[in-house]
Amino acid sequence: MKLQPILDDIQNGLNILQQKVNIIRTLDTGKFYEVDVQMTRKEAAEFIGRSVRQVDRLCDEHKIKRIYVGGSVRILKSSLLEYKGLVLQQDCKSEMSEIERLYQKYL
């Protein structure tokens, strides 16, 4: 039994759930401008200076978060900034949800 497809499906489900929670949280606080920017694969590749294929590999390794919007793939800009190391780890920890915290604990 191959576990990788199952784990990938669970991870995608958790990412989608976290996005919806973040949208609800920003609408509740009135800070809608803080919603994360979504980029295409090509835009993301240009942003980090890598090829589209490399971006796909990073997504498969769960180093960069990808989401599906209307059947197309989008990459979160905050995920790219974290990958490049431009976001301080302390800031990431304080904004990390309970699900992400538990997930990181068992990685």
Q: Specify whether the CB–CB gap between 78 and 95 falls below 8 A.
A: no
Structural domains in the chain (count): 1
Phi, psi of 74 (to 5 degrees): -130, 150
pLDDT on residue 18? 81
Tell me which residue range forms the domain holding 38.
Answer: 4-105
| Model pLDDT for residues 6-17, shown as the tens digit of each residue | 888 888 888 888
Q: Could you give the CA distance from residue 79 to residue 90 in angstroms, rounded to a whole number?
A: 15
**What's the farthest any 2 CA atoms get from each other in the chain?**
46
- In the predicted model, is pLDDT for residue 54 greater than 90? yes
d(CA 47, CA 63): 15
Per the model's pLDDT, the better-predicted residue between 58 and 91 turns out to be 58
Stated pTM of the model = 0.51
Hey, CA dihedral for 90, 80, 95, 9, is it positive or negative?
A: negative
